[in-house]
Amino acid sequence: MDTILLVVLIVIGLLIVLAVLGSIAATRRNRAGAARFSESLTAVDRHLAEAIATDHGWRRETLDAAAHAAFAQHRPGAAPDRLELLQIVDEPGTDSDLAIYRATASGGATRITLGRRDGAWYAKAFDDER
């Protein structure tokens, strides 16, 4: 009887160890998948912003030039290493339109909000990311 009890305890112990190892492996896999999903979602958001801008007849070159000028105004003498269009806000009327960029430079990243007035883009707000 003692042998059967020992075998049962060993089997139960092995099942517990396997369950814990399986749980750890699943957690790691889920974390990796979540990171890939987040990156993919961010890329899709950027493509959507570009598509909306193009659909409404906004020239990407004009938006990018306004974002570069705004960055130069905010950080004189610095140029962004990377400029990403993050979001387009298209409210009724042109004076409510917004284009939100993220400019990355050696000093960190800056979120630039461009507004539109009389058809021209201007720097509406800056948010330094730390």
Cβ atoms of residues 36 and 44 within 8 Å: no
Cβ atoms of residues 87 and 105 within 8 Å: no
24: number of Cβ within 10 Å: 10
The CATH classification number of 60-129 equals 3.10.450
Residue that the structure tokens 């990243």 belong to: 109
Please state the length of the chain: 130
Taking the C-alpha atoms of residue 24 and residue 16, their distance in angstroms, rounded to an integer, is: 12
Structure tokens at 120: 């021209």
Q: What's the pLDDT at 87?
A: 84
Q: Name the pTM for this structure.
A: 0.59
Q: What's the pLDDT at 72?
A: 87
Residue ranges of the chain with per-residue pLDDT less than 70: 1, 52-57, 94, 130
Q: What's the pLDDT at 112?
A: 92
Q: What's the pLDDT at 14?
A: 92
Taking the C-alpha atoms of residue 67 and residue 103, their distance in angstroms, rounded to an integer, is: 8
Would you say the C-alpha torsion 50, 54, 56, 60 has a positive or negative sign? positive
